[in-house]
Structure 1
Amino acid sequence: MNLSLKILVFMVAGAVVGTILHQFSGNSFIDNNIVNGLFHVGGSWFINALKMLMVPLVLVSLVVGVSSLADPSKLGRLSYKSVGLYLLTTAIALILALLLAGIFQPGAGMPVGEVNFDAKNKPPLTDVLINIIPTNPFGAMVKANMLQIIVFAILLGLAITFSGEAGKRIGNWFKDANAVVMAIVNIVMKFAPYGVFFLIAKTFATFPFSDIAGSLGKYFVLVIGGLILHALLTYSSLIMLFARLNPINFFKGMWPAMLTAFGTSSSNATLPVTMRCVEKNLGVHKNTYSFTLPLGATVNMDGTAIMQGIATLFIAQAYSVDLTMAQMLTIILTATLASIGTAGVPSVGLILLAGVLTQVNLPVEAIGMILGIDRLLDMTRTAVNITGDAAVTTIVAKSEGEIDLDVYNDPRVHSNFEDQTN
């Protein structure tokens, strides 16, 4: 059984077990030993594991990503255009997510253990901007100040690039460290089904099913809606505005890769199919996509950004927390910059969500409310992630004259998907 199916099965099992145990609410043995004992400990272990990975994952991934990006041999128009467009689409995704969550209020009325939870330290906007630069990077890591860690990682990645042989040695160390950290992520995610079971079972054993299903269903629909809107409106608009191309041909050409991403929930695993679709269906030349697509798989995570934006406001609304404008800006900055360090593997966005919640002083434990349905959303947001990579690649290729328009506009190419996912 693959991980996605296993998590889904354990999620349903947790909901069933929790609903049954809710009927015995008040029984001291069940409440003390099972719900607040076994389920609480098991769920807390998984949440702590996510929090444990938060700082090292962002630090080493971002250092590796920036040091590779800033390789002098790759600097130039291609780099600036690609990075600029990737950051633009991620910022648009976050703004869309915050607008949707602010309008539809998916977390309002969601039952939580501490309904009157209040976020601490609501700083003015000037303090947010000043505190972006860490005075002590090690202190920032200890306190899990993600925005400061991200800024330090970017500076360190740039310094590695421009430090010659010494920088190469340090850069190789970070690449090795990144591989080790990703191995830890894979180990932790193997226990995700059991963590999901404990968290969902405790939630459903504590609160009535009807109180939970409505808010979670609203959150689920809102994230899916935000992902679809971003894919159709943002990417179509950018392709028409900057490349003067028909977006319908773009989506037809990318359909095999989108299906593959949906099935694998991994941008990295889908990369070969994405490259094939971009070359064979969209006509982009290899000397462009061979740089922009691997870069996008590292720095461009629009779907993940939408999830983080909506999930953060969902949790804030559930805890009756009114986020300030400064905290909204912090969410946008943190999630946008953190997307550079988001590895293209399943569910790693949840670890970065923990960093965003920490940055605005919301309880990381609240991830447990959405963890059960996240794997279903992960498939869709991965499809959006790789579509964004291809959209930026198409725009950059058009601006550089590195696209075969006859291939892009040929309807016969877009109607023939045979063997493209092999």
Structure 2
Amino acid sequence: MKSKNDLLLVLTVESVVIGVVLGFIIRPFNPSNDAISLIGFPGEIFMQIVEMMILPMIISSVISALAQVRACDAGQIGLMTVIYYMITTFLSTFTGIILVSSIHPGDPHLIHMLGEGTLDDTALSTLDTFLDQIRNMFPENIIQATFQQVQTNYVAVKPKVLKASGGNGTSEKPIMKPILEYTNEMNVLGLIVFCTGFGVILSVLGEQARLMINFFIVLDAIIMRWISALMWCYPIGILSLVCKNIVDIDNLSETAQALAMYVVTVICGLMIHSLLTLPLLYFVVTRRSPFDFMTGMLQALATAFGTASSGATLPVTFRSLEDDLKIDRRVTRFVLPLGATITMCNNNSCINRFRFGTSWSRYHINSAYNCRTSS
């Protein structure tokens, strides 16, 4: 098993490197749009298969995990997970704000040519985003939550005003009115809340619900066995995605020049948060070296880099934590989906959002281990 995991890790890392090399080799030939589509087609199918597995994986993993622990333990794990992610979110946001204020990423030539622009009056406020998350936690239709979620949007409305003469009229300047719309995106947060309550009640019922508990345990085993077989397709899919993304960039040199300071800012944020803040926090809480965990998560990091998808990285993180790092599966099956959802729902900082795409799994290592050692 160890040799297979090592081979899969090597293949995943090599797929990223080969994808980058092939992308730069193919670029000078200026392939057509059809050729670029064919290059990315295996990766497209790969991502669709992975996303197909996310819903059953979340449902089976959360319910089966919570059904096998006491309700008080589940509450403790959930509370510690939320607190931990709030702390790391604050630290990452603080780091991003400091770096942006210090480095000032952005190409001054573009600002000179295009102008500085203005803020959008219709942009969602922090309150709108917060209320949307609360609404999504309690979906009115659990079936609808599997493919849609609520989001606040603003529409222009011409308000009626009373003229001085006493008649009705309309003002020339429309006002922006908030409305609730459904977007075609899985409501992961609502599903996790529902599955959490479902799993805790199964745990409370105990032997009375043994048949249902065994059903979700077996379902979870089936899904994870399917995902284990799918793991061997990851290198091909990642290679295709990386190669296609590099070939598809227009004016690579100009784009790199325009985004140079932004890239520097992001890399600095990644280095500080991933190599200083999180390891230090991990050491303070557990008094253990974090580097063993970082080494065990190399495949998840390579997958996150190649796919830029938390959903595609989640199965790899499950496998790395449970098989390589020997973390209790009852902890990982609850902490990982919850942690991914909490981090994805954060919109405080551009640096924080970019950071999640490449290193979110490291947070799960620390969170899962902290919950395990404290329970």
What's the TM-score once normalised by structure 2's chain length?
A: 0.61
* Mapping of residues 57-206 of structure 1, within 5 Å: 57-70=57-70, 75=72, 81-101=76-96, 104=99, 123=128, 125-143=130-148, 144-206=186-248
Q: Deviations over 1:111-156 (max 9, x none)?
A: xxxxxxx9x9955543432342121111111332111111111111
Which AA in structure 2 matches 1:173?
Answer: F
* Mapping of residues 6-405 of structure 1, within 5 Å: 6-25=11-30, 30-35=31-36, 37-70=37-70, 75=72, 81-101=76-96, 104=99, 123=128, 125-143=130-148, 144-207=186-249, 208-210=251-253, 211=255, 219=266, 222-237=269-284, 239=285, 250-251=287-288, 257-258=292-293, 261-262=296-297, 266-272=320-326, 295-301=330-336, 381-382=361-362, 385-392=364-371, 396=374
Distance in 2 (CA, whole Å) between partners of 1:311 and 1:2 is 37
Distance in 1 (CA, whole Å) between partners of 2:39 and 2:106 is 24
Shift of 1:38: 1.1
- The alignment-based identity, stated in percent, is 18
**1:315–1:179 CA distance, 2 compared to 1 (3 A):** farther
2:310 aligned partner: none
Distance in 2 (CA, whole Å) between partners of 1:393 and 1:12 is 35
Distance in 2 (CA, whole Å) between partners of 1:196 and 1:312 is 29
2:169 aligned partner: none
**1:313–1:16 CA distance, 2 compared to 1 (3 A):** farther
- Aligned residue for 2:53, secondary structure, equals helix
Shift of 1:61: 0.9
Mark the runs of 5 or more structure 2 residues left unpaired by the alignment.
1-5, 108-119, 149-185, 301-319
Distance in 1 (CA, whole Å) between partners of 2:364 and 2:42 is 32
Shift of 1:81: 4.7
Distance in 2 (CA, whole Å) between partners of 1:16 and 1:185 is 28
**1:197–1:82 CA distance, 2 compared to 1 (3 A):** closer
Which AA in structure 2 matches 1:31?
Answer: S
Which AA in structure 1 matches 2:236?
Answer: Y
Matched-pair contact (CA < 8 Å) for 2:63–2:199: yes
Matched-pair contact (CA < 8 Å) for 1:61–1:178: yes
Counterpart pick for 2:8 among 3, 22, 27: 3
Shift of 1:104: 4.6
Distance in 2 (CA, whole Å) between partners of 1:131 and 1:306 is 12
Distance in 2 (CA, whole Å) between partners of 1:55 and 1:158 is 19
Q: Give the alignment's Cα RMSD to 1 decimal.
A: 4.2
Distance in 1 (CA, whole Å) between partners of 2:225 and 2:48 is 17
**1:62–1:22 CA distance, 2 compared to 1 (3 A):** same
Stretch moving more, 92-101 or 143-152: 92-101
Q: Deviations over 1:217-270 (max 9, x none)?
A: 765553343233343443455x4xxxxxxx7xx235x76x53763567611124
Matched-pair contact (CA < 8 Å) for 2:40–2:244: yes
Matched-pair contact (CA < 8 Å) for 1:160–1:171: yes
Distance in 2 (CA, whole Å) between partners of 1:124 and 1:86 is 21
Distance in 1 (CA, whole Å) between partners of 2:21 and 2:69 is 47
Distance in 1 (CA, whole Å) between partners of 2:352 and 2:80 is 30
**1:20–1:271 CA distance, 2 compared to 1 (3 A):** closer
Distance in 2 (CA, whole Å) between partners of 1:32 and 1:199 is 15
Report which of the two structures shows the higher radius of gyration computed on alpha carbons.
Answer: 2
Aligned length: 288
Distance in 2 (CA, whole Å) between partners of 1:84 and 1:314 is 26
**1:218–1:121 CA distance, 2 compared to 1 (3 A):** closer
Distance in 2 (CA, whole Å) between partners of 1:52 and 1:220 is 32
Shift of 1:99: 4.0
Distance in 2 (CA, whole Å) between partners of 1:159 and 1:182 is 24
Q: Deviations over 1:57-77 (max 9, x none)?
A: 111111112212336xxx4xx
What's the TM-score once normalised by structure 1's chain length?
A: 0.55
Mark the runs of 5 or more structure 1 residues left unpaired by the alignment.
111-117, 240-246, 275-292, 319-352, 354-369, 398-422
